[in-house]
Amino acid sequence: MENQIKRHEVMDLLIEACPSYKQRWKEYVQGNYEGGEEYLLYCDLADFANYLVDLYRQKKIDEYPKLFEVIELLHTNGDDDVKEAVTIGLLEDIQTISLNNNINPNVFKNCLKQESLKWWNSLDDFWNGKTNYVGGPKK
């Protein structure tokens, strides 16, 4: 498939959908990378997931609709690496971070679109022992 979204495009798309993250992203990059160093998408997505949960805690969710559209786009138009990273590196982190902060992860589940919701549910199935791996058939 042509024009699939590549890993180096992910953070720019998320920042475009969530411009309030831009300053934090600049500080994150300065604190975690040296010039020319390759970015680690899973780590970057973990920081973004923390930010997303922080926004919810502060009741600042006005960017959510556009943001969750981009998450859906990454699931539908991303290459295989992007799709996996958005599932394991973003959705799973949102679930974990929410639980660690006594927030019901379903508040985020309710924002997801069709493909992203499918992967969210697959994560739930895996963690609940219903599948052997994320995306796998039910036991």
Tens-digit pLDDT profile for residues 68-114: 999 999 999 999 999 999 999 999 999 999 999 999 999 999 999 99
Query: Which residue range(s) make up the domain with 118?
Result: 7-127
> Which pair of tokens denotes residue 14?
């998320």
pLDDT tens profile 43-73: 999 999 999 999 999 999 999 999 999 999 9
* DSSP category for residue 37: P
27 falls within a domain = yes
Contact status, residue 69 vs residue 17, Cβ threshold 8 Å: yes
Q: Is residue 132 part of a domain?
A: no
- Residue 66 belongs to some domain of the structure: yes
Q: How many domains does the chain have?
A: 1
133 part of a folded domain: no
**Is 2 among the domain residues?**
no
Is residue 139 assigned to a domain? no
Residue 111 falls within a domain, yes or no? yes
State the pTM of this model.
0.93
CA 65 to chain centre: 14
- Identify which of 127, 13, 18 has the alpha carbon closest to the alpha carbon of residue 63: 18
